[in-house]
Structure 1
Amino acid sequence: MLRAPAPCLLPGLVGLLMLGACSRPVAPLPHRVLGVHADADSPRVVGAALLTEGDSLDELLARHPRVEPDAALTATLTAILADGGQHLRWSAAPVEDLTCDNGDVRFRIQVRTPPACRERGCPVLAFYSTGCPEPAYHWRPEFFLRAGFIYAEPAVRGTACGEAWARADNGPLRVAAATDLEAASRCLRQRFTRDGEVPQVGIFGWSYGGNQTLVGMTRFAGSYDAGFALAAKTDLASFLSRLSPELRRAKAVEYGDPERDAERLRAISPITWVDRVEAPIALKLGARDPKVSLSDADVFVRALQARGQDASLMIVPEHAHLTERPEEIAFEHAHLLQFFTARFGVPLRVDMRP
C-alpha cells in the first residue's frame, strides 16, 4: 500500500515540485494535459449513454459502479503530471526499437525499460493506439516505468506511421492485420526472457487501442496475461448499426458495412471470441460516451463472469469517450497500475527519484 508523504518531508524531488518552500502552494494543474487525444471532450464524443432497449442506466451503474483507486497512488500520479517532465524524465531516456516479424510483414516495437529492469526480469506492458510511437518524454510511460514495468508500444498495421501503414488494416485487411497482436506478444516475450524466465505481458489501450486489447485477449487468447480496455467496443456490428447513415458509410472503409460485410464484422468483434478468454480482463467505460454501448459491454463481461472468469466492468458516470483532465488521467492510470500489479503479483511501488 502506498502512503501519501507529508509535503514538507518529501525527499529531494519535494522542493522541485513544491515551487520552493513548503509554505508556498503547489502550482495548479492545467485544465488539459499535453499529449491527450485530440478527440478528448469534443462534442461528438460526449453525450448520453448508449443503451439497448430495456436496459436501465441506473441498473448498469449499480451493477458496474465507479470504484475509487488508492488515494496515495492517485496523489503520486498527480505529482508526476504536475512535474511535466522537468525532473522526472525516465521516459525521455533512449528507447529500443525492437524489430518484429509476422510472416512477410515486419513492424517495430518501441520499448522503454526502467533502470531497475535493465539487469533483471520485469513484467512488460504493451500499449496500443493509432499513434506512431515517439521517443520523447511522455507522462504515460513515465507512470509505468516508475512502477517497475517495461513499457512497449507496438507500431502494428493501422498505426499512423505513414499513410499506407495507417490504412494497412482497413476493411478486408483487418482480419489478417490483427495477427500482429499475437506476433508482438511473441516478440516481447522472446526479447525479455532472462535466464529461461519468460516475462508476463499485459495489454491495454483506449478506444481503438481498447479494441486491440479486447481482440488480443479474445481471438488471440494466451498471447497476453492480463488486459485492460478503456472506451472499447465489444461488438462492432452493434456499434455500426447505431450510427447515422453518413457516419456508417465513413466507418465502412475502416471496418466494413453491416449488411455486406457481416461475416467480417463478426470475425473482428471481441464478443465473437469471448469464450476463448483465459486471463484476467477489465473494461472501463464512461456513461457519457455516445460511441460505445454500455449494454454490449455488460453482455460481454457477464458472459465471462458466468463461467468464473476474472472479468470486470466499471462505468464512470461523469466520463465520456476519452479523458483529458489531470484528475481523470490520474484516476484511470491508478486503476491500471492497481490492476496489473495485482494480477501479476508484483508490489505496487512508484519510484519518485529524479
Structure 2
Amino acid sequence: MLGAHADADSPRVVGAALVHEGSSRQALLRRYPRREPAPALASTLAAILADSGQRLRWSAAPVEELACDNGDVTFRIQVRVPPSCLERTCPVLAYYSGGCPHPGYHWRPEFFLRAGFIYAEPAIRGARCTEAWARADDGPLREVAATDLEASSRCLRTRFTREGAPPKLGILGWSYGGNQTLVGMTRFAGHYDAGFALAAKTDLHAFFSQAPPELRRARASEYGDPATDAEQLHANSPITYVERVKAPLALMLGDRDPKVSLSDADVFVRALQARGQDVSLMIVPEHAHLTERPEEVVFQHAHVLQFFTTKFGMPLSVDTRP
C-alpha cells in the first residue's frame, strides 16, 4: 500500500545522508548522478501502479510456499510465477525485506512478474513474521542467521531448475533488505548472479560510529554498538567482504536519507571499481529513506528492471494484458 510505511516521510528519516568529514556532498552527487529511466518503461509501470490491481492481477494468483532448510532451521519462501514461466526456465528475483511475506495482490511483484521474472520472498531470520523470528538475527545472532541468504539461493535454484538448466538468480531489497542484498553479494558471493541494493548501509561500524546518538541507541540491540561491538559490526558489514564480489551490483541511495552514508558507499564502490568489477551507484537528490510516492516507485523500479534485464540478457518487455 502506498504511503503505508512511516519511514517514507517521517521527519526522522528525511534529512541528509551522512558524509565523512573532508568529503564533499556535491562531489559525490556529481560522481554518482541521478539518471532518468527509459520513458516508455516508466510510463508502463505508472499505468500498472495506477491500475491498483483492478485489471492487472497476476500477483493475486495462488502462491507457492517453499520450505527451505538451513541446518536445524527451516524457513519459508513465498513464490509467485508468471504464466509464461510455468513450464520453462525463467530468471528468479529474491526480494528481501524486514516484513513477512503475504499472498494477494501487490504492485511490486506485479511489476516483476509482468517483466518475465519469478518473484520470491524468503522469510529468513529477521523477517517480522513473529516477534521471536524478527529478533532471530539481532546482535551476535546476525552472523549465523545471514547464512539463510545462502540457503535461499540453493533452494530457489533447485526448485526452478528445468531439464538441467538452472535459473539466473537476482537479489534485491530496500533498507534492511538492501543490507541483506549487499551481504548476499559480498559474503556469499557466487550465490546470486546480480544484485540491486537500495537505501543500504555498506559499513555498519563506520555508519554507527558517526550516526546521531539517538539512532545508535535505537539500533544497538539489533546491530551492535560501535564502542563495544566493533568486531560484530565488522563481521556483518558488506565492506568486510568486498573483495569477494563476482557478479554485477547496483546501489541507489537518497541524498535526503539520514540512515545511510554516502561516503561509506563511495569507499565500497571505489574498491570494486579498482578491481574492474561491474558496479554502479546512483545518488538521487530528492529521495529520502523509503520512497512510496508513485513517481518515486516508478523511478526506482524502472531502474531495477533495466538493470536485471540487461545483466540477464533479457528483452525489456512488460506484459500489460489482464
Unaligned runs of 5+ in 1: 1-32
Deviation at 1:93, TM superposition (A): 0.1
How far, CA to CA, are the matches of 1:286 and 1:35 in structure 2? 17
Q: Quote the residue 2:288 is aligned against.
A: 320
Deviation at 1:259, TM superposition (A): 1.8
Match status 1:309 vs 2:252: no
Alignment partner of 1:39: what SS? helix
Q: Quote the residue 1:199 is aligned against.
A: 167
How far, CA to CA, are the matches of 2:170 and 2:3 in structure 1? 23
Match of 2:198 among 226, 230, 246: 230
How far, CA to CA, are the matches of 2:5 and 2:79 in structure 1? 21
Match of 1:130 among 91, 98, 119: 98
Alignment partner of 2:223: what SS? coil
Alignment partner of 1:120: what SS? coil
Q: TM-score, normalised by structure 1?
A: 0.90
Q: TM-score, normalised by structure 2?
A: 0.98
Match status 1:268 vs 2:236: yes
Q: Quote the residue 2:312 is aligned against.
A: 344
Q: Quote the residue 1:117 is aligned against.
A: 85
Q: Quote the residue 2:114 is aligned against.
A: 146
More deviation, 245-254/62-71:
245-254
Q: Percent identity?
A: 77
Deviation at 1:279, TM superposition (A): 0.2
Q: Would you say the 8 A contact 2:79–2:120 is kept in 1? A: yes
Q: Quote the residue 1:282 is aligned against.
A: 250
> 1:50 is aligned with what amino acid?
L
Deviation at 1:241, TM superposition (A): 1.2
Match of 1:78 among 37, 46, 50: 46
Q: Would you say the 8 A contact 1:35–1:138 is kept in 2? A: no
Deviation at 1:206, TM superposition (A): 0.4
How far, CA to CA, are the matches of 1:94 and 1:190 in structure 2? 21
Aligned residue pair count: 322
Unaligned runs of 5+ in 2: none
Match status 1:255 vs 2:226: no
How far, CA to CA, are the matches of 1:308 and 1:60 in structure 2? 20
How far, CA to CA, are the matches of 2:213 and 2:270 in structure 1? 31
Q: Would you say the 8 A contact 1:174–1:268 is kept in 2? A: yes
Q: Would you say the 8 A contact 1:288–1:318 is kept in 2? A: yes
Q: Would you say the 8 A contact 2:256–2:288 is kept in 1? A: yes
Change (3 A) 1:49 1:164: closer
Q: Quote the residue 2:186 is aligned against.
A: 218
Q: Quote the residue 1:162 is aligned against.
A: 130
How far, CA to CA, are the matches of 1:260 and 1:172 in structure 2? 12
More deviation, 240-249/138-147:
240-249
> 1:291 is aligned with what amino acid?
K
Deviation at 1:36, TM superposition (A): 4.8
Q: Would you say the 8 A contact 1:49–1:57 is kept in 2? A: no
Deviation at 1:291, TM superposition (A): 1.3
| Runs of 4+ more than 4 Å apart | none
Q: Would you say the 8 A contact 2:2–2:293 is kept in 1? A: no
More deviation, 331-340/54-63:
54-63
Deviation at 1:156, TM superposition (A): 0.1
How far, CA to CA, are the matches of 2:303 and 2:201 in structure 1? 20
Deviation at 1:211, TM superposition (A): 0.1
Deviation at 1:237, TM superposition (A): 0.6
Q: Quote the residue 1:292 is aligned against.
A: 260
